[in-house]
Chains A and B, each alone.
Chain A
């Protein structure tokens, strides 16, 4: 089911589908088997103009039009979910930079992205905070040349592979846990050290290792926005894009699992009946359940993305006029974040139902190591606990439904993550 895409969205959908089928899918099995980083896939995405889809046109992008990004991610995930995950974590770094960067920073950090020359990664969570973006322990110490940061970030997609890490740290040793400043740290800095080699159950090509920022000297020219504006920037421009694109990824993964299962039941013929499995009523019902689940999520996700595109554009206007901090609390009150949080919960739980049923339809064939459904089953599992994990999101949704403030407005909501 497609719901009225614009010509531009349709073009990016077709481009992403072609890249997924012709470039990503043929490499996906090897990437999964060997845990190889998805470099070739990222380069293909860049060559096809998709690394900066959400960048405003004045900086060489396509405009703050998030549905193209979500749809592109959905399509890419059908070729290789690991590649799509690196794409998500790159894309969600872009708008906080656009919103707060100086003209010089925009030229250095944004225009090359639109040309496919920079891969970003966001690294926020820390051992002490887990999924709680509003509680960061590490901090920046100001010195004459800029800042010194010591931080251990628990997860960074594309660790050791991206060109820059966008990291939030507390603005100083005395700053509160949510008074954050954003820095772009070059991966070529020898004080930036990925820890170990990523060896996950699924998403095995995205290099999701911890990263240590060890006495890292960061120039003031790599600070994004002024000190202390990090949290509003993340809430307005990083979290919504991340949750929407991530939802698109799991939607695409579910679609691929469904397609693999349908192909299987059309081809698999039992010797006794001489009929394909597709002729069985129980199989048809399974497939109908998959379709209903996928299309309900798609309809919600696309609708929410259209709304968030509009709101994000509005917030960008405010950020460019230095008014973001004054308005961001009002934005929370309007609960725009909640509809995005619901999309993540829906998509990441829908995909588990879908891959489980698709697995059942593929039977023992799919259980063999190297079958695509087996890989999709493992890739799908990460979604519900990726930060912010679904339990944290449910608590936030539930709090707001009961008229309670957001956790960062009310103090800690308790240890989790």
Chain B
């Protein structure tokens, strides 16, 4: 099984190197919580100035803008680009809580990241 923590840090590097993805980050500065349901893993991703700036272990200090919940394997596959998050959402493999515009932005970001 892929290791979620490492996957997220690779994801951070890829996001910050990808100029197309960074165009999508303009004006969007969410706190994204990633919660694995089959373990005690939770991470907070902080987006700032068109960068995925930090990843903290544990829940967000303040209420997260977007929360993504799912099994570790599914979450890892999404952040590795093996699984389309929009399809995973439609199929009930993940749950996303937050404003719809933030959910859409997060899906768009992962879609572009693995295609461009």
Report A's interface with B, CB cutoff 8 A: 307, 310-311, 313-314, 317-318, 321-323, 326-327, 330, 334
Contact = CB atoms under 8 A, between A and B. Distances in A.
A321 B87 CA distance: 22
Interface stretch (B37-45, B58-66, B68-76, B108-116): B108-116
B47 interface: no
Contact of B23 (A307, A313, A323, A330): A323
B111 A310 contact: no
A327 B105 contact: no
Contacts of B100: 310, 313
A326 B107 contact: no
B112 A326 contact: yes
A168 to B, nearest CB: 25
15 contacts: A310-B86, A310-B100, A310-B104, A314-B86, A314-B108, A317-B24, A318-B111, A321-B24, A321-B26, A322-B23, A326-B20, A326-B116, A327-B115, A334-B84, A334-B86
A310 to B, nearest CB: 7
Given A327-B116, A330-B115, 8 more contacts: A313-B101, A313-B104, A317-B105, A317-B108, A322-B23, A323-B23, A323-B112, A327-B111
A9 to B, nearest CB: 14
B48 to A, nearest CB: 18
B1 interface: no
A211 B1 CA distance: 60
Interface of B: 20, 23-24, 26, 84, 86-87, 89-90, 100-101, 104-105, 107-108, 111-112, 115-116
Contacts of B107: 314
B87 A318 contact: no
Nearest to B22: A321
B108 A318 contact: yes
A313 B87 CA distance: 14
A272 B112 CA distance: 71
A318 B107 CA distance: 10
Contacts of B105: 317
A311 B20 CA distance: 19
A326 to B, nearest CB: 5
Nearest to B107: A314
A334 B110 CA distance: 14
B107 to A, nearest CB: 5
Contact of A318 (B26, B90, B101, B112): B112
A321 B113 CA distance: 13
A310 B100 CA distance: 9
Contacts of B104: 310, 313-314, 317
Nearest to A311: B86
A327 B86 contact: no
A330 B87 CA distance: 12
Nearest to B105: A317
Contacts of A326: 20, 112, 115-116
A8 to B, nearest CB: 13
B90 A307 contact: yes
Most B Cβ at <10 Å: residue of A311, A318, A322: A318
A321 B24 CA distance: 6
Which 9 residue pairs of A and B lie closest in terms of their CB atoms, listed nearest first?
A321-B23, A317-B108, A330-B115, A313-B104, A314-B108, A314-B104, A321-B24, A326-B116, A314-B107
A318 B109 CA distance: 9
Contacts of A313: 100-101, 104
Nearest to A313: B104
Contacts of B87: 334
Nearest to A328: B115
Which of B23, B26, B101, B115 has the most A CB atoms < 10 Å from its CB?
B115
Contact of A314 (B20, B23, B111, B116): B111
A330 B20 CA distance: 15
